[in-house]
């Protein structure tokens, strides 16, 4: 059952993954900053009159503006949460890649140690 995982780990180009992880993290941070700037700079859109009347009353306009502002704030919060999630995932991905690289190095060292131990045991038995 561990064999497919080992094959998958060998097939993945870890050098490329490690090389591009900082770029992904930087892009996620830029996306988060850009979304913050858009939320601050963007003017709220004007709602269309669904009733078809020419002139809505002042109370209706105020109510629509309040509803629209609440929707905009909710969407901005949701978008901010999504961009933070993307940035956190990119950071986690970078940490995961570095941890996998450490495990790869340790596995190679362990393999070489096992080979050396096997050679030492074979040498001792051959004496």
Residue 72 lies in domain: 2-43+66-101
Total number of domains constituting the chain: 1
Domain-embedded: residue 120: no
- 18 Cβ contact partners less than 8 Å away, ≥ 6 residues apart: 97, 98, 101
Cα 41 to Cα 31: distance, rounded to the nearest angstrom: 15
Per-residue pLDDT of the chain (127 residues; tens, 9 = 90+): 456 766 766 777 767 777 777 777 777 777 777 777 776 665 555 555 555 556 888 888 999 999 999 999 989 888 888 888 888 888 888 888 888 888 989 999 999 999 999 999 999 999 8
Is the CB of residue 115 less than 8 Å from the CB of residue 45? no
Give the Cβ contact number of residue 21 at 10 Å: 19
What is residue 2's predicted lDDT score, i.e. its pLDDT?
56
Instruction: Report yes or no on 61 lying in a domain.
Output: no
What is the pTM assigned to this prediction?
A: 0.46
Residue carrying structure tokens 């991905």: 93
**pLDDT at site 7:** 73
């Amino acid at each position: 059952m561990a064999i497919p995982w080992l094959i998958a780990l060998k097939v993945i180009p870890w050098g490329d993954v490690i090389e591009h992880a900082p770029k992904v993290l930087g892009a996620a941070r830029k996306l988060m900053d850009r979304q913050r700037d858009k939320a601050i700079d963007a003017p709220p859109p004007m709602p269309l009159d669904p009733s078809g009347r020419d002139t809505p009353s002042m109370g209706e306009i105020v109510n629509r503006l309040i509803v629209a502002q609440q929707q905009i704030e909710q969407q901005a919060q949701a978008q901010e949460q999504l961009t933070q999630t993307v940035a956190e995932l990119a950071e986690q991905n970078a940490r995961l890649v570095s941890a996998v690289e450490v495990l790869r190095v340790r596995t190679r060292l362990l393999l070489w140690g096992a080979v050396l131990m096997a050679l030492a045991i074979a040498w001792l038995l051959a004496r």
